[in-house]
Structure 1
Amino acid sequence: MKSWILMLLALSLPMAVVAEEEGDGAAKVSYVTLNPPLVGNYALDGSAKLRVYKADVSLRVTGDEAMKTVQLHEPLIRNQLVALFSQQTVESMGNVESKEKLRQEALKQTQQALNQEEGKPIVEDLLFNNLIVQ
């Protein structure tokens, strides 16, 4: 009989934790998409070949207040990202590993810009919904 009660208690504990978390009023995760997509030139090395990128970027934040703050600072974020993309080379835009490094650097610069403006990084992750380079 005791083992039955212990098993019942063990199974009910995770449900109690889930109920507490749901009732906690935890903030929801949101994605802020930068519209329109970022478009510009990169690898400006003096050659005659024009290189162009198009980046569809989304920023992951938690809570409505964070989403509003990111939207408020979208021009600053866009400026940082355009400057970063325009500094890239053919090699840094050419393969999956390089694009992942670029994504991480874009996240870092976005967080730094928001940290300077708001005192905290706010953005948790930066995602490329689409990244086209020519």
Structure 2
Amino acid sequence: MRTLRLLLASALLVTTLAPVSVHAQSGPFAYFGLEPDIITNYLGSNARKLGYVRVTVELMLESPDYLEAAEHHSPLLRASIIEIIGRQPEDKVKSLTGREDIRRTCLDELKRLMKKETGNPMVKDVIFTKYLYQG
């Protein structure tokens, strides 16, 4: 009898939770990798010193339908990321909080550019899967 109650309770719990997890998903996303890696210079500690950074960037798109548009606009997206990284000071490039600030700046700028070009921001997130610097 106790086993039957536990079985019924677990079945009720599974039945109750299943629709919640399905509704919690906000939709299918797509990922678009900017190839090749972005390699650019950044400002060093003084005017004579430059460092370089190599970043692998993946874009999380709001829908798989946006893959073609992301590929079409990839030169614009790459140039924007290169420009943002290139004007960063050394301490920002080398710190974890600075890296996060750079990532957020890239996200905001890419959303703005895609909104301007296509009428839809399309980019849900920017992910740095590799982030190497020297300088």
Normalised to the residue count of structure 2, the TM-score between the two structures is 0.78
Cα shift at 1:103: 0.5
**RMSD of aligned Cα (Å):** 2.6
Query: Structure 1, unaligned stretches of length 5 or more?
Result: none
User: Identity, % of aligned pairs?
Assistant: 21
Tell me which amino acid in the other structure corresponds to 2:119: G
Cα shift at 1:61: 1.1
Q: Secondary structure at the match of 1:58?
A: strand
How many residues of Structure 1 are paired with residues of Structure 2 in the alignment? 125
Taking the TM superposition and a 5 Å limit, the aligned residue runs for 1:104-119 are: 104-119=104-119
Query: Structure 2, unaligned stretches of length 5 or more?
Result: none
Where in structure 1 do 4 or more consecutive aligned residues deviate above 4 Å? 7-11
Aligned to 2:15: 12
Give me the whole-angstrom Cα distance separating, in 1, the residues matched to 2:113 and 2:62.
18
Cα shift at 1:31: 1.2
Q: 2:38, 2:78 within 8 Å by CA — same for their partners in 1?
A: yes
Q: Secondary structure at the match of 1:124?
A: strand
Moved more, 39-48 or 55-64: 39-48
Cα shift at 1:9: 7.1
Whichever structure has more strand as a proportion of its residues is: 2
Normalised to the residue count of structure 1, the TM-score between the two structures is 0.79
1:70 is aligned to 2:70: yes
Mark the CA change 1:10 to 1:46 in structure 2 (over 3 Å): closer, same or farther.
Answer: closer
1:87 is aligned to 2:90: no
Aligned to 1:55: 55
